[in-house]
Structures are given as structure tokens and as C-alpha cells.
Amino acid sequence: MLENCILLSLFAKENLNRMSEQQLNLYDRLINEPSNDWDIYYWATEAKPTPPEFENDVMAMLREFAKNKKREQRLWQPDLEYLFEPPR
């Protein structure tokens, strides 16, 4: 689903390099376990409540990111080169 690809890839670019191992595991679980991509989108945008098994600090970070308070244009996924950059 394009909306999730954009949301999750931009979230990952901004946050993965500063997440703890536990947070990375939670993020991995979030993006791999739900069987319906729309669920993740609805939880992130608060259209539906997040089930208790996915309610954690990473989900809270994703919800905050989805609010886009800086009003950034988020029209496409980032290039993957950021994965090979040294941590800031």
C-alpha cells in the first residue's frame, strides 16, 4: 500500500538510527505481523485504536510522525542510501 510505504519508509529514515534494540524489534514486529496494511495506517493516523499488543513507544512515535506537524511534503519514499550513511 503506497500510503504505508511512504509513511513507514520516511519514519524509518528519521528514526531507525537512534532506536534502541528493543524499539527496533518492536518496529520490526509492527511492520511484519499485522496481516492488513490498512490496520497499521489506521492506527498511525488514529482512525482506529491500536490493539494492546501493538501499543508501545514505537507506535506512539509513529502516530506523532504521522501528524506531520512540520507540514513536510511526503510524496515519495526516500532513497535507501541513508541506510549506508554513518550514524549522526
| pLDDT tens by residue, 12-55 | 989 999 999 999 999 999 999 988 889 999 999 999 999 999 99
Name the residue with higher pLDDT: 30 or 88: 30
Backbone φ and ψ for 82, nearest 5 degrees, come out as -60, -25
Name the residue with higher pLDDT: 76 or 46: 46
Element (H, E) at 31: helix 21-32
pLDDT for position 78: 63
Can you tell me the distance from the alpha carbon of 60 to that of 83, in angstroms, rounded to the nearest whole number? Answer: 23
Q: Under a CB-based contact definition with an 8 Å cutoff, are residues 7 and 61 in contact?
A: no
Can you tell me the distance from the alpha carbon of 82 to that of 50, in angstroms, rounded to the nearest whole number? Answer: 29
| pLDDT tens by residue, 38-48 | 999 999 999 99
> Could you tell me the pTM of the whole model?
0.78
In the 8-state DSSP scheme, what is residue 73? Answer: -
